[in-house]
Amino acid sequence: MAEYDVVVIGAGHNGLVNANYLAKSGLKVICVEKNQNIGGGCSTEEVTLPGFKHNLHSTFHGWLPMGPVYKDLNLENYVNYVYPPANHVSLFDNNRSLVVYRSMDLVCKQIEQFSKKDAVTYRRIFKSYKEFIDTVFVPWFFSPPVNQSDLIATLEKSPEGMELYQWMMSTPMNIYNELFESDELKNHLMARVLILGMPHDYYGSGLIAIFAIIKVINPICVGGSRNLAEGLARLLKEQGGEVINNTPVEKIIVKDGAAVGVKTAGGKEIMAKKAVVSNIEPKQTMLGMVGPDKLDEWYVSKVNAFKPDAHAIFGVHYALNDAPKYTHAEKNPDVNMGFSQDIFGNKIEDFTDFFADVRRGIPPRKPAFQCCAPTVHDPTQAPPGKHTAFIWQPVPYNLRGKGPEGWADIAEEYADYLQSIWQEYAPNISGSNILGRFVHDPLKAMEYNNNFIGGGFNAGDMSPDQMGNLRPIVNWAQYRTPIKNLYMCGCSNHPGGSVSGSPGYCAAGIIHDDLGIKRWWKGLV
Amino acid sequence: MIEDEQSFTIKVPIQKAWDFISDINKISSCLPGLDKAEIIDENTADITIKQMMGIIPFYVKIRNTITERQPPHKFVSVGSGEHLEQVKLTLELKETSPSETEVTYKMLVIASGNVKGMVEYMMNKKKEEQTAQFVAALKQKLE
Ligand SMILES: Cc1cc2nc3c(=O)[nH]c(=O)nc-3n(C[C@H](O)[C@H](O)[C@H](O)COP(=O)(O)OP(=O)(O)OC[C@H]3O[C@@H](n4cnc5c(N)ncnc54)[C@H](O)[C@@H]3O)c2cc1C
């Protein structure tokens, strides 16, 4: 029987980040992964043709360099990033487009095509809130959840703070309608919010609308997103830790109310002297692996009530001869050089129509998808001269009357439909330019990574009632669980989905405190 | 824990510098972002600092007490307030010529509670700007 100090269930990037922080304190740590390949939401698989590397989930890792993990773990020695010269590009009807660069002057020039007034407002919002986002929001994101009342009390002390507080309570759509007049800019910003994992109309999620104006960077992991996980695994091994793959954990062994190890699907027991940490969302961790019989009724009912993501992701991955060439580039040449080309309609109201379909369980007939060809910026993700690309469209997980299983019948046809729309913008997405195609519908996505309940980004909806000190379970939002020595470190916890490493990092801090071990890292400072 | 230290020269004799620095009313007026100072007695003041985060002001109320006076060489005040376990200001004076004094400014901040990490992060981001403001205010008022 193998014995470690800590067993981490799941080798997603958060599990690996957590394992590394613990291993660096001298603990003997093992990460146990269900899949053949580690990474979870940082996956890269050759699903079309050999040599074509497809990122089935995350492609940009913009949060990671904002936080402490990248520096603390010296990740520059383990993983490389490239920064596309332009970020998000929105494509509209009649060859209109908006390219967002890192330079504010260039962004404002693009916005001026549609509204001079909006360009002025955009710059004003950026200038007014940049410091707040950098010095308050970003540390909030990389700290264990704080009492929301502390922040609100601070805002309530000034008229400027009150205005921000009102926006925080509002929806991204309301805020963009209040601030801007141009349909194109509002549509573009709304797409950015959606790409960050939030719908347009959640009351209480308004801060993300301001964040989306201030922070736009899209670093791409060289060689594919899985290289982040591989880099973290290499570091873990250098620190004496272990990673095993192809090993689903079935049970968390609980003795006298405390987690003491795990039992794998193959019947192997791996014991943990100090802690078991789960990278998986609470329903599977607490109800599946621990079992409701070991938990009180209240907690069980709260875990049952934890909501999956509000929408799933329908991905179509391509192996291409040539990168997509957009007709919009004739008028706006940098269109082809953006991180992604986003086709989300023409105005902000399109999001309402589109989400109405999603919420009714109908695959939307309105296109709302992000297209991305990572190989334009990182040629190592395909054989020399060739390209990979993908589109992803938010869709319902449960198809009306058919449930998620219904996707098996319609996935290829729906992919054809989305591809036909994409072709209108990029005519070379056709014929012999397409060397291979892989449809990653929500059902397949869940088979690949069962952590993403509801087939979305976040392993649990990011509605305000499941955020901050309410995520994932009210009164249990500090990465701890009612089972002693059992912790959760995945993106079902604060601050939620994305490749930030934050849940893994924050949980590592809490575990150090509980074990009475001095943290070796300096913290946010 | 956030620390900052800086030495600078002011063009006044050491006694004049000391008279200013050791007066709680006068030294409080140099604190960066001072919004309000309520003097309780010669050693104690309730200070409200207004710290701008972009256009959003953050107000911090601190009760400050002078804990050490070694005329004309050393002055220490220690404060605490909401989310702040300790704010310690140490000023050391050294005569460099009859008309010039070297001041060493040391600031130490320890935040507390749920938001400790966030508060210390904010303070750290602002510390250079705050030190520069303090030095400029002291020079302007004294020289
Ligand atoms: C389509 C899509 C696109 C996205 N794009 C981006 C993006 O571009 N940028 C961004 O920042 N974020 C993006 N996200 C979100 C991001 O990928 C996730 O939020 C993040 O990867 C979650 O990381 P994690 O470590 O918390 O969990 P995961 O990465 O889900 O890790 C959980 C791990 O646990 C393993 N596991 C599950 N059950 C068991 C078991 N029983 N035993 C052992 N192991 C188990 C899983 O296989 C997995 O490896 C995207 C998500 C999706 C779905």
User: What CA–CA distance (Å, rounded) separates A200 from A352?
Assistant: 8
**Number of CB pairs, chain A paired with chain B, less than 8 A apart:** 67
Cβ of B118 within 8 Å of Cβ of A161? The answer is no
Sign of CA dihedral A298, A300, A304, A308: positive
pLDDT digits (tens, 9 = 90+) for B87-134: 999 999 999 999 999 999 999 999 998 888 899 999 999 999 999 999
Residue of the CA atom closest to atom 13 of ligand 1: A58
- Find, in chain B, the residue whose alpha carbon is nearest to that of A524: B121
Cβ of B55 within 8 Å of Cβ of A525? The answer is no
Q: Which residues of A touch B (CB under 8 A)?
A: 127-136, 139-140, 143, 146-147, 150, 154-155, 157-158, 160-161, 164, 523-525
What is the SS3 assignment for A457? coil
Task: Please list every residue in chain B whose beta carbon sits closer than 8 Å to the beta carbon of residue A67.
Answer: none
The CA R_g of chain B, rounded to the nearest whole Å, is: 15
Which among A134, A139, A160 has the least Cβ separation from residue B55? A160
- CB-based contacts of A442, cutoff 8 Å, min separation 6: A312, A313, A314, A395, A397, A404, A407, A455
Shortest distance, CA B42 to any CA of chain A (angstroms): 29
Show the tokens assigned to A37. Answer: 């390949």
Q: Which of A154, A505, A522 would you mutate first to test chain B, the one with the most B CBs within 10 A?
A: A154
8 A C-beta contact, residue B74 and residue B88 = no
What is the best residue among A14, A57, A462 to mutate for testing ligand 1's pocket, by most ligand atoms within 8 Å of CB?
A57
Interval between CA A445 and ligand 1 midpoint (Å): 10
Amino acid at A180: F
Cβ of A146 within 8 Å of Cβ of B115? The answer is yes
Query: What is the predicted pLDDT for the residue at A452?
Result: 96
| B2-142 classified as CATH 3.30.530.20 | yes
Cβ of B53 within 8 Å of Cβ of A136? The answer is yes
Query: What is the predicted pLDDT for the residue at A1?
Result: 77
Task: Please list every residue in chain B whose beta carbon sits closer than 8 Å to the beta carbon of residue A133.
Answer: 54
8 A C-beta contact, residue A81 and residue A231 = no
According to CATH, the topology of domain A2-42+65-79+222-307+459-515 is: FAD/NAD(P)-binding domain (3.50.50)
Would you give the DSSP letter of residue B36?
Answer: E
- Find, in chain A, the residue whose alpha carbon is nearest to that of B120: A525
8 A C-beta contact, residue A390 and residue A397 = no
Q: Provide the mean pLDDT of chain B.
A: 94
Q: Is the pLDDT of residue B25 over 80?
A: yes
8 A C-beta contact, residue A514 and residue B113 = no
Q: Ligand 1, closest atom to CA A41?
A: 21
Task: Please list every residue in chain B whose beta carbon sits closer than 8 Å to the beta carbon of residue A524.
Answer: 117-118, 120-121
User: What CA–CA distance (Å, rounded) separates A236 from A230?
Assistant: 10
Average pLDDT estimate for B21-31: 93
Which among A146, A160, A161 has the least Cβ separation from residue B114? A146
Query: What is the predicted pLDDT for the residue at B114?
Result: 84
Ligand 1 pocket, CB under 6 A: A 9-15, 32-35, 40-42, 57-61, 63, 248-249, 279-280, 313, 315, 392, 449-452, 457-458, 490-491, 497-499, 503
Query: What is the predicted pLDDT for the residue at A365?
Result: 87
- CB-based contacts of A82, cutoff 8 Å, min separation 6: A219, A220, A222, A377, A378
pLDDT along chain A (525 residues), means of 10: 95 98 98 98 98 97 95 97 96 96 94 98 97 95 93 95 98 98 98 93 97 94 98 98 98 98 98 98 98 98 97 97 97 95 97 95 92 98 98 96 96 97 97 98 94 95 96 97 98 97 98 98 85
User: What CA–CA distance (Å, rounded) separates A234 from A243?
Assistant: 9
Q: Ligand 1, closest atom to CA A489?
A: 26
Give residue limits of the domains in chain A.
Answer: 2-42+65-79+222-307+459-515
Ordered DSSP codes for A221-289: ETT-THHHHHHHHHHHHHTT-EEE-S--EEEEEEETTEEEEEEETTS-EEEEEEEEEE-S-HIIIIIII
ipTM given for this complex: 0.91
Query: What is the predicted pLDDT for the residue at A366?
Result: 84
Query: What is the predicted pLDDT for the residue at A367?
Result: 86
pLDDT digits (tens, 9 = 90+) for B32-77: 999 999 999 999 999 999 999 999 999 999 999 999 999 999 999 9
Show the tokens assigned to A248. Answer: 């689903």
Sign of CA dihedral A231, A488, A147, A207: positive
